[in-house]
Chains A and B, each alone.
Chain A
């Protein structure tokens, strides 16, 4: 059976692309869930404004020292998988998504480096004025702390995403290979 997939490309089965996308999205959601758990159990809920506090989990401290770097690991992992779920099924695009999310995480981390943050904040102020969003970014760069461990964690997260995508691809190719 020949069908047109979500990308307008011809595939062997109409259900092939959506199923593989769902698996990628589920893996991403799982990773993001672990990341949210760090904020629920190990951190002050006021710190992450997008994650509502769950009182029964507060103070459980499930992750210990690892909790410090886990979000940096989870962000490129989860969002690479989400992006791959929505992108063309070409391997190059999927690995490109991993590289993109690592680069984005790395750029924000490097923006907190003591030698970078002040000129960056000044540039933001000149470029975007003093609106709430510009001030929030200024706060982020000036008040954050550059941590090499975060960069390493982001690289590991992106690498794991690439590995997951590779193994899913191999699995799918084996599944759809002609039977003898």
Chain B
């Protein structure tokens, strides 16, 4: 009897020790590394900013997304972020004249603003947020503006997570012209997010050098004459910088369009992380004016390049991977990948 009680106590002590060890381990990593200044949560793919600590002297505000397209009847959600101020007081404002003049939206003082049941009258409305002093109406900072676009019907979606090599083609331009950079593309059967992904290797001459590779999906074709004019395009992908011979490589990714022998690339792109992060690289609500022609026949007088109207020729979508090797860096190569490629075409 006495022996079994002693055994039970020993057993309980060992279980408790294991529990404390597991709890301690979870506490260390769950806190993001104790005093880790990078502010990343063990449980979150995206790092969060620290509240507190030294704050910048100048208050600043920003809102996201920078543009947003939703179907009529849906809700539009904008989020504000503030820095340089401990307890920000937000005031959302709206402009009906393209951002020239703004008026306060009554009651919209939270960090998130939701416009429910969006109507066509809200198309092209512009929003921004002001940071105001806690006691009065002094404007401490104003954010960037964000434009809301409204569509009458669901988006036409193109996506790829399998990357059949037969459906994708690649071609490069060295910019500026250089001798030597090479590229290769294939399909990685595993290691994406999840499973298959498009695997790319860019081999570069000594820095500074850059290589732009256009990847086009043959079956991702939108015909405006059959499906209607394009109001805006949402683009998203996951980009992983897998490995590199040097940290002097910079990889960015851009949405692209091909139309009537001309190639266009978005002015807006996204950098790559050193890991897969689902839905990290998003470029929302691109309009025709957001694309720049890269090659092909010159754009004629009176021609729209690209042409998003209902008279426009079929467009084919893809992405550009732009790799830059910084000045002074030795020749080398970088391996990177794309997964969960998505294009949503919104119509007016």
**A interface list, Cβ under 8 A from B:** 4, 6-8, 32, 35, 39, 41-44, 46-51, 58-59, 61, 64-65, 67-75, 78-79, 82-83, 86-87, 101, 104-105, 108-109, 112, 118, 121, 125, 130, 135-140, 142-145, 147, 149-150, 153-154
Contacts and interface: CB of A to CB of B under 8 A. Distances in A.
B6 A144 contact: no
A7 B274 contact: no
B275 A139 contact: yes
Interface stretch (B47-55, B61-69, B155-163, B312-320): B47-55
Interface residues of B, number: 49
Interface stretch (B37-45, B100-108, B285-293): B37-45
Given A59-B86, A79-B20, A46 B33 contact: no
Nearest to B277: A139
B136 interface: no
Contacts of A82: 20, 24
Given A8-B10, A75-B28, 13 more contacts: A8-B9, A39-B31, A43-B50, A50-B26, A61-B53, A71-B35, A86-B16, A112-B38, A135-B45, A136-B29, A136-B42, A147-B37, A150-B36
B320 to A, nearest CB: 25
A64 B274 CA distance: 31
A47 B275 contact: no
Nearest to B24: A79
Contact of B9 (A6, A47, A108, A142): A6
B36 A65 contact: no
11 contacts: A42-B51, A44-B51, A47-B32, A50-B31, A61-B86, A67-B53, A109-B36, A135-B45, A140-B32, A144-B32, A150-B36
B28 A145 contact: no
Given A47-B48, A59-B86, A118-B274, A136 B53 contact: no
A49 B42 contact: yes
B27 A50 contact: yes
A interface secondary structure, majority: helix
B25 interface: yes
Given A42-B51, A59-B86, A145 B37 contact: yes
A87 B39 CA distance: 34
A69 B23 CA distance: 20
A8 B25 contact: no
Given A101-B24, A130-B194, A49 B30 contact: yes
A64 B54 CA distance: 8
Contacts of A75: 24, 27-28, 31, 34
B35 A68 contact: yes
B17 A87 contact: yes
B35 A153 contact: yes
Contacts of B21: 79, 83
B267 interface: no
B53 A48 contact: no
Which 8 pairs, one residue from A and one from B, show the smallest C-beta to C-beta distance?
A: A72-B34, A145-B38, A79-B24, A143-B40, A69-B35, A71-B34, A49-B43, A72-B35
A140 B88 CA distance: 29
A4 B6 CA distance: 8
B275 A79 contact: no
B10 A7 contact: yes
Contacts of A4: 2, 6
Contact of B31 (A71, A101, A112): A71
Nearest to A153: B35
Contacts of B193: 130
B311 interface: no
A76 to B, nearest CB: 9
Contact of B33 (A35, A112, A130): A112
Contacts of B49: 44
Given A104-B24, A149-B35, A48 B41 contact: yes
Contacts of B52: 41-43, 59, 61, 67
Contacts of A143: 38, 40, 47, 275
A55 B191 CA distance: 41
A68 to B, nearest CB: 5
Contacts of B9: 6-8
Given A7-B13, A71-B34, A153-B34, A46 B275 contact: no
B44 A49 contact: yes
B53 A42 contact: yes
Interface in B109-157: none
